[in-house]
Chain A
């Protein structure tokens, strides 16, 4: 099964389980969790089911396209089910079947792995799913997001699509796998991996990145500071919270570049993560506040 067929099948599978098929988010993110379709929707009480493909960037994992398994930009399939149905594990296993994986011929394991995103103030409890020893999915019962206890809980299922594809196509090098029946993954992505690696590891100007980080942080904080004085529901309703969140995401990505560039000491690392988290937690708090008020007045 080629790469795009996989994305189509998984999308179809989750669409048939009442998931909204959302578009990939149009910003650099480190994981599908950072997209508004996850971050904002797991907050608050409303039920929600969504699935989307999300290219995710981890600058530190860049290998100039030379490593057969590691990528700066890998593709996640992100699924959120809120609240989680009682047969959630069976639903997940069935999704593997939809990819043509015959469960009887394999060993699928749920091995403890508790996920955490310190920049988002988010964490959860769950497993990494192993298919014959290969980690293919992160399966998490979200406990907190933006520092807020979730009510209800959401399950987040994040598939690592390249790994599953390489497995299904029985290739050892990610760049050799077929995207469709004509084009290889490498034809589409290899040059991009090389260039992103060169920039993140060599070209990036740490000072400029720092300045951009500061600038985005300041702008996000400035926007957020405007929420406190709002008295009218109408003004609150049009408050540009999503934009403040996007600015926070920019900080997160700039931090990742600085980190990959080796420009961040261990302690500074903690401090920078803390600054991004502070924004994310503020965003989450405002979101919950606004949702609560709107639920009351509705």
Chain B
């Protein structure tokens, strides 16, 4: 008999939500694999656990499981030899009782040397248990350890908890002559030897002979591997649209959803009345994709066709009833949307402006009318700065302010009340259809963008200005009434808004100073509302978002920290990014690493020095009288300070960091040859003053060089 056998586990559930399925399958594989490994039941290098899943089952298959745990010798450590024998060399009570406890004689004990000294020990041969015995123990723990984003009870609060009710468990070991049940109970269900096919097959149990269930279940209308279902969906969709020359709109999210909510996927094409094509594409696609889970069909140029593809979970539609049903549902939904589209247009967005004073933004923050007023002030300020820097003209300024006025008016339309995910988009579409300039309608359309850090920004500067005003106002307003995010709770979505602020300022509106912008926002709040440290808290929060943005671009954490600690020059997110990128280029050079070490050393000396607190007021260091390393550093410092100022004003951070690196030999020589803590008080304090200025004006100027991790740590950190 071979040493290994196969094992299969199937957890039969009521329909597991599509969004949880991949995670659940992965979790089962990981937990079972590590439990088997820990139990010494896996052959080394064997491709341990294979998994599969459908909405009604989670599967794990182990092709090579040891029939039994290998035997092993376990060493039990007893008392130290010193305490085990008395002066005459007779065993003490400690030795006797250790032996007795383990059913052995003192003569059976060995001496072993450990780091703590010599000890008595007993070697016990442990006979490995058969796989089935081990499985019975570990399987309930494996299943019980599984976690899901949302669990449920289905018998009682005291009963089992899982993602959905478990209705059968198949657990079989291959015993040569046939499969053997691994008998255990989980979630009040006893394991057995049967599986079940597709729902259409009714509730007849299916006996299992071969432990690889793929083939058996396919005969019962279940494709267990998601990848295989995906390929099938792709192939059939391709075949469906091939003749017409059309294509299904690419949609990975929808494809995954469909794959994870079927056992036997069969794409089917249906149609709708072409008159609905007069509705905006966004509306049609939202209804088809988000509400009905249909793929939209397009021609080569991307124009929607009056067709859709749904994916059935049955082999076919012999009587055409299923297609008819889907077509009727879609027609009803489109009829609703058409009604909203026409009804909403009877009142233009502009006429809806006064209605915003009846739409609450947040209890303590008033209505959307109030929010629009605040956004206007911010937008005006931004436009002013952008105009001065030549990034915007007067016409664009007008468009931006118009877009601000109109951007929230779609909240009062029936379409947005029905399809809330279309807010902003609908505003843009209505604005366009009502003859607002394209710049205005596009800005409204885009003004929620970027929705997350991965989302793109608005198409135009005008749109970016509107979006920035919206998001910055949300952040400042939210903080002003205590809605700031804490831990995992962020009730007002301020982190996301903050991320949007940073992304817009880096990618769409470079050069704007966030600190000054935020001040404009604060000016809108009464002193009472803002409270003492509101401004500081908001800026700290936005700095944190800045760090998050940098990290999301793959920037090393020490570089992120280094540039975030230096914001004296004002908080200009686009410059912060440039400084980080420039620093990244030089950070791994030897000169820079040495300079970073020098910066840390300087910081330490200054910290230790009792006179530290006085440096700020003591003015610049005096020029050392004698030539030498101190005078060299003194002169290099002033020259460097000037150079950095020049590069900074030109925003040439790469040149600035390169220049900084040239300081290394002078700094190194100073620390090698000069004793800072000279006994002479005057000399000492002048040297400390020089270091203090060097620290603030050079080491901290563009980034906090002391934050840079040593090369080895940094390179492992990057892997």
Contact = CB atoms under 8 A, between A and B. Distances in A.
Interface in A164-220: 167, 172
Nearest to B364: A267
B89 to A, nearest CB: 67
Contacts of B314: 106-107
Contacts of B155: 83-84, 152-153
Contacts of B325: 106, 131-134, 167
Nearest to A132: B325
Interface string B351-369: 0000000111011000000
B326 A267 contact: no
B66 to A, nearest CB: 35
A134 to B, nearest CB: 5
B625 interface: no
Interface stretch (A21-29, A87-95, A249-257): A87-95
A143 B326 contact: no
Interface stretch (A3-11, A110-118, A232-240, A276-284): A110-118
Given A107-B314, A109-B261, A266 B17 contact: no
Given A68-B335, A141-B153, A151-B157, A132 B321 contact: yes
A143 B339 contact: no
Contacts of A127: 15
Nearest to A125: B152
B154 A153 contact: yes
Interface string A128-170: 0001111000000101000001111100000000000001000
Interface string A64-78: 000111000000000
A69 B336 contact: yes
A107 B157 contact: no
Contact of B156 (A103, A132, A152): A152
A130 to B, nearest CB: 9
Contacts of B152: 125, 141, 143
A86 interface: yes
A297 interface: no
A173 to B, nearest CB: 10
A105 interface: yes
Contacts of A69: 332, 336
Nearest to B332: A69
A110 B331 CA distance: 22
A105 B167 CA distance: 25
| Residue in B156, B318, B331, B335 with the greatest tally of chain A CB atoms within 10 Å | B156
Nearest to B152: A125
Interface string B439-469: 0000000000000000000000000000000
Contact of B17 (A67, A112, A150): A112
Nearest to A167: B325
B18 A112 contact: yes
A93 to B, nearest CB: 7
A267 B363 contact: yes
B158 A151 contact: yes
| Residue in A131, A132, A143, A268 with the greatest tally of chain B CB atoms within 10 Å | A132
B165 interface: yes
Contact of B328 (A84, A104, A134): A134
Contacts of B336: 67, 69
A265 interface: yes
A149 B157 contact: yes
A110 B314 CA distance: 13
Contacts of B156: 83, 150-153
B620 interface: no
Interface residues of A, number: 41
Contact of B154 (A87, A106, A112, A141): A141
User: Which of under 10, 10 to 19, 20 to 34, or 35 or more describes the interface residues of B?
Assistant: 35 or more
A133 B15 contact: no
A285 to B, nearest CB: 16
B411 to A, nearest CB: 10
A108 B266 CA distance: 14
Contacts of B318: 105
Contact of A114 (B150, B165, B310, B362): B150
Given A105-B318, A107-B314, A125 B150 contact: yes
Interface in B124-179: 150, 152-159, 164-165, 167
B200 A89 contact: no
B360 A265 contact: yes
A161 B165 CA distance: 27
Contact of B153 (A134, A143, A167): A143
A112 B158 CA distance: 24
A106 B18 contact: no
Contact of B326 (A89, A133, A141, A266): A133
B370 interface: no
Contacts of A114: 150
Interface in B195-233: 199-200, 202-203
Contacts of B317: 107
B362 A267 contact: yes
Contacts of A87: 203
A132 B322 contact: yes
Interface in B340-385: 358-360, 362-363
B19 interface: yes
A110 B362 CA distance: 36
B551 interface: no
A111 B313 CA distance: 12
B150 A103 contact: no
Contacts of A105: 318-319, 321-322
B329 A134 contact: yes
| Residue in B154, B358, B363 with the greatest tally of chain A CB atoms within 10 Å | B154
A88 to B, nearest CB: 8
| Residue in B158, B203, B317, B328 with the greatest tally of chain A CB atoms within 10 Å | B328
B321 A110 contact: no
B203 A90 contact: yes
A237 to B, nearest CB: 26
Contacts of B310: 133
Closest 9 CB pairs of A and B: A132-B325, A112-B17, A267-B363, A110-B15, A125-B152, A133-B326, A265-B360, A266-B360, A152-B156
Interface of B: 14-15, 17-19, 55, 150, 152-159, 164-165, 167, 199-200, 202-203, 261, 292, 310, 312-314, 317-319, 321-322, 324-326, 328-332, 335-336, 339, 358-360, 362-363
Interface of A: 67-69, 83-84, 86-87, 89-90, 93, 103-112, 114, 125, 127, 131-134, 141, 143, 149-153, 167, 172, 262, 265-268
19 contacts: A69-B336, A86-B165, A93-B199, A105-B318, A106-B321, A107-B317, A109-B261, A110-B15, A111-B18, A125-B150, A125-B152, A127-B15, A131-B325, A133-B325, A134-B325, A143-B153, A152-B159, A153-B159, A167-B325
Given A133-B330, A150-B157, A265-B360, 9 more contacts: A106-B321, A110-B14, A133-B310, A152-B155, A265-B359, A266-B359, A266-B360, A267-B360, A268-B360
